Structure 1
Amino acid sequence: MAKFTSQIAMLFIVVALVCAFVPVFSVDESEAKSLWDTCLVKISPHCALDIIAVVFGNATINDTCCHDLVQEGKVCHDTLIKYIADRPALIARKALYLKKRDDLWTHCIALYLLCFFSL
């Protein structure tokens, strides 16, 4: 039961982050819905938070979340991280965040391909 409650809390946090960030980006409502429908539903709330912690902090990512990230796709990853990095409080370090985003993608795709070709 505690694990279920924790998962619900994580989902709530991700939904709250999306709701908090999307209006600030001046994207129209259909684009925000499209991002939700096509991107955020492809990744677990836990991995979404891990990815944010890697790009905007100093965390590390596990293999499972790397796999989820690759499954989400580069366009979704790039777009969502750029939207967050465009926040006024973060824009001063946007170049750093975009580099970390790209480094994370490179790391995860290499790991994904390594696992794929070792099968």
Structure 2
Amino acid sequence: MASLNVYSVLVVLFLTCGVVMATKENDQIIKENNCETKMGFPCVLEAFTSIFNTGSICNKCCGKLVVLGKVCHSALVKRTLENPVFKGLNPATIIAKSIQTWNYCLALIDSPSPSA
């Protein structure tokens, strides 16, 4: 029985350390890649709405999101999920919407535009 308690404490400790490390890792990625200054506020708002709410993202903002890069995109979404304000959201759903938005924008930017 005592070994079960020790095991439980170790699991909780491991999970807690993992969350703290993830937070520091995301902050470090964001800082090192200068992620927060690569998109203007209107496009950040559009991307945020398409991921954390119901909304769409325009072609112009998709272009800026792709230029931002997948590493910055993922780190910013994960850091936002760590904010207590968003604790009621399902992380798996948000990550899925984040990937969906990224893939949509990547396909949009990679597809050749129709000729006039």
TM-score (norm 2): 0.68
1:72 paired with 2:68, answer yes
- Please list every run of 5 or more consecutive structure 2 residues that lacks an aligned counterpart in the other structure: 1-21
- Please list every run of 5 or more consecutive structure 1 residues that lacks an aligned counterpart in the other structure: 1-24
Deviations 1:51-99 (A, max 9, x none): 1111110011100000000000000000000110122342441110000
Counterpart position of 1:49: 45
Alignment of 1:55-94 (within 5 A): 55-91=51-87, 92-94=89-91
**What RMSD over aligned residues (CA atoms) do the two structures have, in Å?**
2.6
TM-score (norm 1): 0.66
Counterpart position of 1:27: 24
Residue identity (%): 27
Counterpart position of 2:105: 108
* Aligned length in residues: 92
Please give the alpha-carbon distance, in whole angstroms, between the structure 2 residues aligned to 1:101 and 1:113: 18
